[in-house]
Chains A and B, each alone.
Chain A
């Protein structure tokens, strides 16, 4: 079943990627091509094969001690240094709900 432009618009809204101008049509064509390329994988939904979510099995229960790591703690300048908009000691974002809310 091919993805429609509406489907792709919905995914773009979810993924917070604005598609402008011809991008929607292009993205739609790409996604359908890509999904078609992935078709062979559907044959691998085999009932008697376990999935491998983590390559190189055998690793489990990896944990650290509950001890403070001062070496990685940021100063306030380091913490905010790459942010485009801050106020005081905080990161700043515009209105979450917008005018109509």
Chain B
């Protein structure tokens, strides 16, 4: 198979995502007062409603509605005041009623947009031909066939005519065409079709088959703990063009939802799940190709790699004169391939109709404004503030701002600092902190590390009192022990000597001892300077400032 970059020069990949997020930070389920389950034993948190018992009736969780409104506001969606819950019927035991309560053509949040900043190596996935005028045409033609309902609701419900006619929709004309910046980065707007509210399904365990797979299983066991967990589904327009953009969209959305506090957003635990739709068309072709749906994209890496594989697979099929079938495919990370799960010959008929047990919604301005007022500072706003007020590098600011817990830690550490010291705090938070937490297998909240320690260490580093290598050592030590960095530095005799008077005798001694290397430098081999600095450091038992040694050595050799 060809490489992704090669494929994307000839083919345009049109990618859309469907992202399900469980509102795990709520106390109770969507339509009943059962507690949300985390690691409970099977069927611990169940009641007549979520077991679908005869006679049970749903009552919506107000906070869940607030959460989806916040999710909509934070992703620049229009909040739809009037909407209804619908019943979506399919016979499968993970839905206790054999229908799922979800939303109809009008969702609580519709027509939003997020701007992706694509930087670094990932930005190279989008080929040069996908910028500028050609891309403007591509955007217009890809959307024309896609704006509307997800495939699961493609049926032309009569009521949607009236209801959707009232929506302003997108202003496609204003959609910015990405422009490549000098450093290779670019910004691309991704439109969001809708975010709707629904309930999660039960968990099923397939017993007796191969590796818990459904095929060949002798029986399946059902645990309704998760059944009825509030779930929001976000559907993007097919505006994504590379696996990297898809991955970044998911990351960005995750950071926003974490900032909103509506979910733990754990992809590992399945509280955030992503399906991808992808089709290919020849560069310059206005017609969309047949799309496949990808499942099991359960990590950022899987999302990227699964899409990348599928794009390459489709290209290979198409270039050999083959045909792409509309089907659902499963990403197998261990074998790095996608396999067919189900061929969709006809559209599923879910027999949608408005749920008569649930009153319609007519959200008031007051309700929506209340949600707006509770919105926290979102990652993009926070990033911009760090850059503006603290002078932190944009990439570092983006990374810190994305995680509310890390951001809170950072802000406490950086309190009162500015300039070099503030950037040094950022460096420690971006580099040392995650490395330490990963190595110690500990969460930030559970670690002994305090923001004051990081601030103290930053001051030591910024004033050149210790070297960056020592900084690393101090970080590990203070995180593990909880001691102040100053004490560690003193106890270990680390404090760096920068005074020229104290360092010059060492430099002189080394140059005398290593006359051969000194001559090499004078002959033009500048690389040997590192060796000489190392000798000075050794002679000072690590206490000398390597930068100062460097300066003194150059001065002596170039004199």
Contacts and interface: CB of A to CB of B under 8 A. Distances in A.
A89 B41 contact: yes
A78 B93 CA distance: 19
Contacts of A72: 32-34, 47-49
Select the residue from A14, A76, A95 with max chain B CB neighbours within 10 A. Answer: A95
Given A53-B356, A62-B60, A91-B93, A69 B47 contact: yes
Given A51-B159, A53-B354, A64 B218 contact: no
A53 B82 CA distance: 13
Contacts of A54: 354, 356, 359-360
A63 B42 CA distance: 28
A88 interface: yes
B139 interface: no
Nearest to A82: B53
Chain B, interface size category, equals 35 or more
B28 A97 contact: no
A30 B355 CA distance: 27
Interface in A44-63: 51, 53-54, 59-63
A68 interface: yes
Interface string B6-37: 00000000000000000000111000111100
Nearest to A89: B42
B363 A73 contact: no
A96 B43 contact: no
A18 B34 CA distance: 35
A39 B346 CA distance: 28
Given A60-B361, A79-B51, A89-B43, A66 B64 contact: yes
Interface in B218-235: 218-224
Given A74-B51, A79-B46, A53 B360 contact: yes
B541 interface: no
Given A74-B51, A95-B217, A60 B34 contact: no
A10 to B, nearest CB: 10
B120 interface: no
Name the residue among B46, B49, B356 with the largest chain A CB count within 10 angstroms: B46
A4 interface: no
Contact of B221 (A51, A61, A90): A90
Contact of A88 (B47, B93, B221): B221
Nearest to A87: B221
B349 A14 contact: yes
Contacts of A61: 359, 361-364, 367
B60 A63 contact: yes
A74 B52 CA distance: 13
Interface in B339-379: 349, 354, 356, 358-364, 367
Nearest to B26: A66
B35 to A, nearest CB: 5
B61 interface: yes
A66 to B, nearest CB: 4
Contacts of B224: 79, 91
Contacts of B51: 74, 79
Contacts of A91: 43, 93, 221-222, 224
A20 interface: no
B250 interface: no
Q: Tell me the dominant secondary structure on chain A's binding face.
A: loop
A54 B35 CA distance: 29
B323 to A, nearest CB: 25
Interface in B457-485: none
B42 A90 contact: yes
Contact of B33 (A59, A64, A76, A90): A64
B121 interface: no
A5 B34 CA distance: 44
B362 A96 contact: no
B44 interface: yes
A47 to B, nearest CB: 10
A93 interface: yes
A84 interface: no
Contact of B59 (A14, A51, A63, A73): A63
B97 to A, nearest CB: 13
Interface in B433-460: none
A90 B28 contact: no
Contacts of A69: 28, 32-34, 47
A67 interface: yes
A93 B34 contact: no
Contacts of A64: 33, 59-62
Given A60-B361, A61-B362, A72-B47, A89 B223 contact: yes
Contacts of B42: 88-90
Contacts of A68: 27-28, 33-35
A89 B49 CA distance: 18
Contacts of B354: 53-54
A100 to B, nearest CB: 9
Contacts of A95: 217-220
B32 to A, nearest CB: 7
Contacts of B65: 63
Given A62-B59, A66-B26, A79-B43, A92 B356 contact: no
Given A54-B360, A91-B93, A66 B59 contact: no
Interface of B: 26-28, 32-35, 41-49, 51, 59-65, 84, 91, 93, 159, 205-206, 214-224, 349, 354, 356, 358-364, 367
Interface of A: 14, 16, 51, 53-54, 59-70, 72-74, 76, 79-80, 87-97, 101
- 9 tightest Cβ-Cβ pairs between the two chains A and B: A69-B33, A90-B221, A63-B62, A66-B63, A72-B47, A89-B42, A91-B222, A62-B359, A53-B354
28 contacts: A54-B359, A54-B360, A61-B362, A61-B364, A62-B359, A63-B59, A66-B28, A69-B32, A69-B33, A69-B34, A72-B33, A72-B34, A72-B49, A73-B34, A73-B45, A74-B43, A76-B44, A87-B219, A89-B42, A90-B43, A90-B205, A92-B220, A92-B222, A93-B219, A93-B220, A95-B217, A97-B217, A101-B214
